[in-house]
Structure 1
Amino acid sequence: MSEDEPTADEGEANRERNLDAIRDRLGALEADLEDFEADLESADTEDDLNVVEADLESVREDVEDVEIPDPPETDDDEDDEPAPEAKLQDRYDDLESDLGDLEDDLEDQRGPYAEDVVGEIDGVANTITNTRWTVEGDEELIEAVDSFLTDVNDLLESDLSTPGDLEPASGAELGENAEEEGTVPQALEETLEEATAAVEDASPDPDEDAETIAGLLEATDDFEGGVDDATEWTDLEVREQLRREGFYDVLAHVKDFPPEWHALKVHEKRGNVDQILLAYETLGSEYMEEHCLEALERMGPEDAIEPMVQKAGRRDEAAIRILGKIGVADDEVVDALLDYVDSNPDLQKPAFRALGEIGAESAVQPLANQLLADNPDVRSWAARALGLIGDTRAIDPLADVLADDEEDRVRASAAWALNCIGTADALEIVAGYEDDRAYLVQAEATRVDLEPAA
């Protein structure tokens, strides 16, 4: 042992001195916390709270500076008395927990403030503009805002009021956008912005104007309750919603049962896509949903893209077919369909066809990969989808299928696809199979016209 190294007894003595110092430090911090807890209980003003906050921040820094050493390692596996370091760690954890509780109590004791009132008003305003209301709901909203403004005027001596020309709109007039220009929710939102500006301009002091702030918060709570009680569109029965939307207005008489089916057929005949989508989104019947989807598949309206993309995402074959019928190759549609290129055959078949119908060029490689699938049906559907897309990048892989695939029906699909692509190179490949063993392939070869058009 070198002369500089402490002996075992000296090391133990150093350890004890270090632990004693930590005990003293923790004791002092614990005493400080007790004093600051009493200061917090007696704090009456924001200034008092600011003093306590500064004290707690100082204690927080001191606590974070304390380092509890790890207990020494021992060879004894028996459950002995915890090491002094472990006991100090427990005291430290308790101290830190008590400090956190005091910090939370300090925040709870602050305020309320004018910004709390503004936040509450903004929250109610968002509810108003993001909810669809009935005519009755509009009327109840106007009444709730009027009552709230009366309270605000009394407390702030302001002169706020709702516009005098507000007219509740019917559901059909309102549509689905509560933020539509000129609607009751939009007008009330602007009025509530004036109310928040009035609170901010008044700038009530949390000490001197505590009663005013408390009164404003109470008024806001009552206001929020009035808005919650107002009649939302979803509070109506389904048939009442449809009636107010004019869904049944096309019925001079009821020919089919249920009447929704009869109305649906009339709307399809008249091209009223909005009413068909309304029925699809509103009616909770699988029977009526099926008829709505059939109507949309026959019509192929672009207005149906968004709901059909959502439904296609739930592995729905009808929605996939409808997207193909609509024929719009935007990124959202293509991405939804590409999810099923490597799926099960029940979903691959409509997805392949839909990708072909919309001409999704980004699907060429994923579809070409499926020309090597084990299932001959999948290979055939992939070939035909590539033909519908018509991209020349598919010529070589289709030519390989036509030359090498073991299934004649798959080869015939490849020949059909090359005919669809229709370039000179593609047609020349197909024309070489006039004497093919398979009649379907021969038929495709005889359709080729290599003579240039006059």
Structure 2
Amino acid sequence: MDELIEAEPYALEVVDSPPDIEQLLSDLISGDVTRRMLAARAFSEIQDERSVPALIDLLADDCPLVRVSAAYALGRNPCPAAVEPLIATLLQDWNGYVRKGLVWALGNCQDARAFDSLVDALVTDIPAVQLWAASALGQLGDPRAVAPLATALKADPVAVVRSNCAWALGKLGDKEAGVPALLSALDDDDLSVQQDVREALNTLGYHYETDAADPFEIA
């Protein structure tokens, strides 16, 4: 199970012949749980809008492996109709791996309706979900995300979450609000976070000069 759920996103084995899309679409509604899971997993690599209705239905599947596969597949096949079901599942699914896939999918959908749920995931969920919630907020491009991302960058105890917050602040491109938060994180205890903060500042037009009196100068 760990090998399956840790893939970001799931990768299919390389095969010589192209996948049978019609068979995969049929397998999405199969009574066999393994067929449903493998078909949903296939659509994490294949884009076909015909898969979306069945994938939405699979978000309610009894098997968490099916649900997480469907979440990643919907992230690969983003659709406005999937946003509300993804949000609803995020709010109620007990499985952290499923929620991780859901926030990844919502980030790919880039739909403002997901904002509140993603902020809640950033603040309250487990680290594996928080880090993808941070990235998803960066992908949304909503300036309201700067404040919760800045707070998490400063206070979250998990380095990889702070790193993703830094990336997201750079992605949002809000110099006025984002730069002060990033500058305050330059002395983070974790070197990888410091590096991600520098890269985010570079993205925003601030270039690091090691010998300068003010090490960050705007481009």
Fold equivalence (TM over 0.5): yes
1:303 is aligned to 2:50 = yes
Specify which of 288, 306, 323 is matched with residue 74 of structure 2. 323
1:414 is aligned to 2:168 = no
What do residues 60-89 of structure 1 show as CA deviations (whole Å, max 9, x unaligned)? xxxxxxxxxxxxxxxxxxxxxxxxxxxxxx
1:349 is aligned to 2:96 = no
Q: TM-score, normalised by structure 1?
A: 0.37
Q: CA deviation at 1:308?
A: 0.6
Rg comparison, structure with higher value = 1
What do residues 43-72 of structure 1 show as CA deviations (whole Å, max 9, x unaligned)? xxxxxxxxxxxxxxxxxxxxxxxxxxxxxx
Tell me the residue number matched to 2:21.
273
What do residues 3-53 of structure 1 show as CA deviations (whole Å, max 9, x unaligned)? xxxxxxxxxxxxxxxxxxxxxxxxxxxxxxxxxxxxxxxxxxxxxxxxxxx
Q: TM-score, normalised by structure 2?
A: 0.72
Instruction: Indicate conservation of the 8 Å contact 1:412/1:441, yes or no.
Output: yes
Whose relative contact order is higher, 1 or 2, with alpha carbons under 8 Å and at least 6 apart?
Answer: 2
Segments of 5+ residues of structure 1 without an aligned counterpart are 1-263
Q: CA deviation at 1:418?
A: 1.0
Instruction: Indicate conservation of the 8 Å contact 1:267/1:275, yes or no.
Output: no
What is the Cα-based RMSD across aligned positions, in Å? 2.7
Specify which of 147, 150, 156 is matched with residue 399 of structure 1. 150
- CA distance in structure 2 between the aligned counterparts of 1:415 and 1:314, rounded to whole angstroms: 35
| Secondary structure of residue in 2 paired with 1:340 | helix
Tell me the residue number matched to 1:451.
205
What do residues 257-303 of structure 1 show as CA deviations (whole Å, max 9, x unaligned)? xxxxxxx97442xxx6334313444x554444443223222112211
Q: CA deviation at 1:346?
A: 2.6
Specify which of 420, 434, 443 is matched with residue 186 of structure 2. 434
1:336 is aligned to 2:80 = no
Task: Pick closer, same or farther for the CA change 1:363–1:284 going to 2, 3 Å.
Answer: closer
Whichever residue aligns with residue 379 of structure 1, its letter is Q
Instruction: Indicate conservation of the 8 Å contact 1:434/1:445, yes or no.
Output: yes
Instruction: Indicate conservation of the 8 Å contact 1:430/1:444, yes or no.
Output: no
**Identity percentage of aligned residues:** 26
Whichever residue aligns with residue 274 of structure 1, its letter is E
Whichever residue aligns with residue 425 of structure 1, its letter is E
Tell me the residue number matched to 2:60.
313
Residue correspondence of structure 1 range 62-211 to structure 2 within 5 A: none
Instruction: Indicate conservation of the 8 Å contact 2:122/2:134, yes or no.
Output: yes
Point out the structure with the larger helix share: 1
- CA distance in structure 2 between the aligned counterparts of 1:426 and 1:305, rounded to whole angstroms: 37
Segments of 5+ residues of structure 2 without an aligned counterpart are 1-14, 207-217
Task: Pick closer, same or farther for the CA change 1:341–1:279 going to 2, 3 Å.
Answer: closer
- CA distance in structure 2 between the aligned counterparts of 1:430 and 1:417, rounded to whole angstroms: 11
What do residues 348-371 of structure 1 show as CA deviations (whole Å, max 9, x unaligned)? 111111101111211111211223
Instruction: Indicate conservation of the 8 Å contact 2:71/2:105, yes or no.
Output: yes
- CA distance in structure 1 between the aligned counterparts of 2:164 and 2:120, rounded to whole angstroms: 16
Tell me the residue number matched to 1:212.
none
Task: Pick closer, same or farther for the CA change 1:397–1:273 going to 2, 3 Å.
Answer: same
Task: Pick closer, same or farther for the CA change 1:406–1:297 going to 2, 3 Å.
Answer: closer
Instruction: Indicate conservation of the 8 Å contact 2:156/2:162, yes or no.
Output: yes
Count of residue pairs brought into register by the alignment: 185
Residue correspondence of structure 1 range 36-51 to structure 2 within 5 A: none
Task: Pick closer, same or farther for the CA change 1:370–1:404 going to 2, 3 Å.
Answer: same
Whichever residue aligns with residue 22 of structure 2, its letter is D
Instruction: Indicate conservation of the 8 Å contact 1:418/1:426, yes or no.
Output: no
Tell me the residue number matched to 2:174.
423
- CA distance in structure 2 between the aligned counterparts of 1:414 and 1:404, rounded to whole angstroms: 11
